[in-house]
Amino acid sequence: MARSGLNTSGSDATADLPKPKVNKESLQRGLRIFRFVLPYRAKFAVGMVLLVLSSLSTMTFPWIGGKLVDAANDKPFTLPGGLVLDINRIALGLFLVTVLQGLFSFGRIWFFTQVSEFTVRDIRQALYAKFMQLPIPFFEQNRVGAVTSRITSDVAQIQDSFSLTLAELFRQVFTLLAGLAFIMVVSWKLSVFMLVTFPPIVLAAGLFGRKIRTLSRTVQQELAHTNTIVEETLQAINSVKAFTNERFEIKRYNTALRKVVQSALQSNLYRGGFVSFVIIGLFGGIILVLWRGATLVHTPKTDPNHLDIGQLVSFILYTVYIGASVAGLGELYGKVQSTLGASERILEILDETPEPTLLEPALGLVPVQVRGEIRYEHVAFRYPTRPDVAVLQDIDFYIAAGEKIALVGPSGAGKSTIAGLLMQFYPLSGGRIVVDGHDVADYDLTALRSHIGIVPQETLLFGGTIRDNIAYGKPGATDQEIIEAARRANAWQFISAFPESLDTVVGDRGIKLSGGQRQRVAIARAILKNPAILILDEATSSLDSESEKLVQGALDELMQNRTSLIIAHRLSTIRKVDKILVIDGGRIVEAGSHDELSEREGGLYANLLRLQFELA
């Protein structure tokens, strides 16, 4: 069968993704993700109000603190109404403000978390529904790691933003602006002095910090690499031992570990430098401002530049706030970038055109019953991912309802592709396929597919129980129906021998069952689905003869009264079919019954037959 599955390489798909620059366009594009917030806008608005209130109360703290120090210096605070506040009252006021701030913050977190949880759930639902409805070519063009990381890490990034980054961003900007306004009012001269000394130091610290982050990312990557080695080798421990490569792997792991230590040491060298820079630079800056401030406090009260000690305290506290918000904003910039990138990638998938499945009302014909008469009329086909290769050309054949035909031919000839096109996994490049007299394109896609069953070459079962796996052919089937299907698929015997019978868990991808057992579960599933048309991709992996007999018996039972398209690898199993189509290089090169074809001198089928006979 054409491997239409996902490309599973690359698990860490987001690590190296580019972050878009924050500009008008990227903001406009990224902010479209806010449409998912709209249903919860009332909660969002309440959260915003609480955020404003908590930010405001934070900003009054240094101001009231300054008044407290002034009161301690015999300068009590007088309210506009004439009410004089002493130390006790001011301290009480400060405490009240703090309590209010605590309550506002609690409310803000509560409302924003609700918004982010609901929003993120909706985004995940929309994404998953989209994944299910995207056409197969999409999955051939995108790595599965990259696709799944949309619903895991990208969505987590968005969640982070709605619950934290957004609030932080607002608070930092608010703190910065309000802080600047406050210090200007307290003393514009000292403010100007502060502004030329302090922010450059903070910015330098920010750049230093970025360098450290880059280095620690390298450490993480190196560490991840060592983990990959452990995972890979433990998963494939049989191969390691069989190839006697234990020593090689130990060396490989040690080399990788050495790199981790090297980069960790380098990163910590910078970290140490950073700490001493912060101590000397940042505190040096504070000392500078303190010195200047102290000088101003020291001037006589009559001097227009004079500062009260309380004013200096407020000033210093606001300066610390401002410094913290400048540093915080630098970090937030990176987060905003990541969020914009994540939201763009999510929206990109949501904007993809889905297959017309699950449409309500249905688009096109919805047959209650399909007889299963199939006609391929001059079908030509190229895979969308490889448009320059003509995989099929002029495929033209007819199968009457209930007939069985086999497709045979060398590997890569196009047999699986011919069968897969019936399911309309890909658009045709030419010709048409007709089922019961109607072009397949005229049918509702879901309705048509529901009448076609596939038993693939390699059966991948889902991780649940045997019951779940058989019932996949008909969700909601009763135990009675499931057991009946298992019986007809020669599977009941082994299932009932398990202590947990239908409740036996098959393990990830069905690894706890043998190949032949998996196939019979897949056949039971197809029997339960009861499709009018059956596509059977015969397994290439050989089963032991006992198991093969059971599987063959199950297949014969399954094919009864259905139009069947068999992709045959072993010619011995197809003698009973009504017609054989021999495919080579994407064309039908011979057609006829087994007897006709095997007697054709120099024919491809006769050749293949002889080859297999000789091999046997």
Residue (161 or 416) nearer to ligand ATP, CB: 416
The neighbour count for residue 298, using CB atoms within 10 Å, is 10
Contact mark string toward ligand ATP, 94..133, x via CB under 6 A:
----------------------------------------
Residue (416 or 469) nearer to ligand ATP, CB: 416
Distances (CA, A) of 107 to 38, 39, 43, 44, 443: 20, 19, 11, 11, 54
Alpha-carbon span 317 to 319, nearest angstrom: 5
Q: Which region among 68-76, 408-416, 464-472, 506-514 touches ligand ATP (by CB under 6 A)?
A: 408-416
Q: Which region among 49-57, 412-420, 517-525, 599-607 touches ligand ATP (by CB under 6 A)?
A: 412-420
Residue 97 pairs in a beta bridge with: none
User: Among 272, 273, 412, 507, which residue sits at the site for ligand ATP (rule: CB under 6 A)?
Assistant: 412
Residue (175 or 417) nearer to ligand ATP, CB: 417
Contact mark string toward ligand ATP, 345..384, x via CB under 6 A:
--------------------------------------x-
Q: How far is the CB of 381 from ligand ATP (least distance, A)?
A: 9
The phi and psi torsions of 537 (rounded to 5 degrees) equal: -100, 105
**Contact of 331 with 87, CB cutoff 8 Å:** no
Q: Can you state the percent helix, strand and coil of the chain, rounding each to 5?
A: 65, 10, 25
**Contact of 522 with 456, CB cutoff 8 Å:** yes
Nearest to 586 by CA among 412, 440, 435: 412
Alpha-carbon span 157 to 344, nearest angstrom: 12
Alpha-carbon span 535 to 452, nearest angstrom: 7
Residue (317 or 408) nearer to ligand ATP, CB: 408
The neighbour count for residue 358, using CB atoms within 10 Å, is 13
User: Among 47, 66, 135, 414, which residue sits at the site for ligand ATP (rule: CB under 6 A)?
Assistant: 414
SS3 370: coil
Residue (152 or 385) nearer to ligand ATP, CB: 385
SS3 573: helix
Which is it for strands 392-399 and 579-584: parallel, antiparallel or unpaired?
unpaired
Q: How far is the CB of 489 from ligand ATP (least distance, A)?
A: 23
Alpha-carbon span 524 to 487, nearest angstrom: 8
Element spanning 590, H or E = strand 587-592
User: Among 411, 497, 595, 601, which residue sits at the site for ligand ATP (rule: CB under 6 A)?
Assistant: 411
The neighbour count for residue 490, using CB atoms within 10 Å, is 24
8 binds ligand ATP (CB under 6 A): no
385 binds ligand ATP (CB under 6 A): yes
272 binds ligand ATP (CB under 6 A): no
Residue (410 or 507) nearer to ligand ATP, CB: 410
The neighbour count for residue 393, using CB atoms within 10 Å, is 18
Alpha-carbon span 364 to 614, nearest angstrom: 51
Q: How far is the CB of 520 from ligand ATP (least distance, A)?
A: 21
Alpha-carbon span 31 to 166, nearest angstrom: 12
391 binds ligand ATP (CB under 6 A): yes
User: Among 161, 187, 417, 424, which residue sits at the site for ligand ATP (rule: CB under 6 A)?
Assistant: 417
Residue (506 or 583) nearer to ligand ATP, CB: 583
Q: How far is the CB of 447 from ligand ATP (least distance, A)?
A: 25
588 binds ligand ATP (CB under 6 A): no
Peptide bond into 200 cis (omega under 30): no
Element spanning 406, H or E = strand 404-408
Contact mark string toward ligand ATP, 225..244, x via CB under 6 A:
--------------------
2 binds ligand ATP (CB under 6 A): yes
**Contact of 506 with 464, CB cutoff 8 Å:** yes
**Contact of 310 with 66, CB cutoff 8 Å:** yes
Contact mark string toward ligand ATP, 448..467, x via CB under 6 A:
--------------------
Ramachandran area for residue 411 (φ above 0: left; ψ -120 to 50: alpha; else beta): beta
User: Among 130, 171, 335, 415, which residue sits at the site for ligand ATP (rule: CB under 6 A)?
Assistant: 415
How many CA atoms are closer than 13 Å to the CA of 596, on its beta-carbon side?
10
Residue (242 or 615) nearer to ligand ATP, CB: 615
413 binds ligand ATP (CB under 6 A): yes
Q: Which region among 67-75, 171-179, 262-270, 414-422 touches ligand ATP (by CB under 6 A)?
A: 414-422
538 binds ligand ATP (CB under 6 A): no
Q: Which region among 70-78, 346-354, 404-412, 467-475 touches ligand ATP (by CB under 6 A)?
A: 404-412
Residue (440 or 608) nearer to ligand ATP, CB: 608
Q: How far is the CB of 385 from ligand ATP (least distance, A)?
A: 5
Contact mark string toward ligand ATP, 126..155, x via CB under 6 A:
--------------x---------------
Residue (39 or 412) nearer to ligand ATP, CB: 412
Binding residues with ligand ATP: total (CB under 6 A): 16
580 binds ligand ATP (CB under 6 A): no
Residue (344 or 584) nearer to ligand ATP, CB: 584
**Contact of 593 with 421, CB cutoff 8 Å:** no
Q: Which region among 2-10, 144-152, 232-240, 272-280 touches ligand ATP (by CB under 6 A)?
A: 2-10
In which order are the strands placed within the sheet that holds 430-435?
Answer: 392-399, 374-381, 430-435, 438-439
Query: Which tokens hold the place of 387?
Result: 């448009």
Residues 432-451 contacting ligand ATP, CB under 6 A: none
User: Among 386, 549, 576, 610, which residue sits at the site for ligand ATP (rule: CB under 6 A)?
Assistant: 386
What one-character-per-residue DSSP string does 70-131 give?
HHHTT--EE-TTS-EE-HHHHHHHHHHHHHHHHHHHHHHHHHHHHHHHHHHHHHHHHHHHHH
Which residues lie below 8 Å from residue 276, measured CB to CB, with a gap of 6+? none
4 binds ligand ATP (CB under 6 A): yes
Interface positions with ligand ATP (CB under 6 A): 2-4, 140, 383, 385-386, 391, 409, 411-417
